[in-house]
Amino acid sequence: MNRFRKYRLSRELDTTATGKLLYLFLLDAVDANGKITISHRRIGETLGLSRNTVSRNLRRLHKRGYIDVIPQFHEDGGRAANKYFLMD
């Protein structure tokens, strides 16, 4: 991806400035298949945002179709960090 294309892409997102920041973070962090498994806490620590702000904005991105969220669970049934897919 052209190094400036992601900024043009984020400009077109119908979300808050924080949502755009989260999207750019995910875009930089995903693997070659457009996936990343990361906790809300880790995202918040990295970007200096509260866990609630991260959760709220990830829900907005998901609701608007920019990302897909796949909940992950440990073998004992406990919650694990979600897997995120960036949509084309």
Q: What residue segments make up the domains of the chain, in order of their start?
A: 5-86
pTM, two decimal places: 0.85
> What pLDDT band is residue 58 in, cutting at 50, 70 and 90?
very high
- The alpha carbon dihedral of 40, 49, 54, 43 has a sign of negative
pLDDT (average), residues 35-60: 96
For domain 5-86, give its CATH number from 3.40.50.720, 1.20.140.10, 3.30.420.40, 1.10.10.10.
Answer: 1.10.10.10
Chain-wide mean pLDDT for the chain? 91
Instruction: Encode pLDDT of 4-44 as tens digits.
Output: 777 777 788 899 999 999 999 999 999 999 999 999 999 99
Rounded distance, CA 72 to CA 50, Å? 21
Rounded distance, CA 42 to CA 36, Å? 12
Please tell me the predicted confidence (pLDDT) of residue 87: 85
- More confident: 62 or 7: 62
How many CB atoms neighbour CB 22 within 10 A? 28
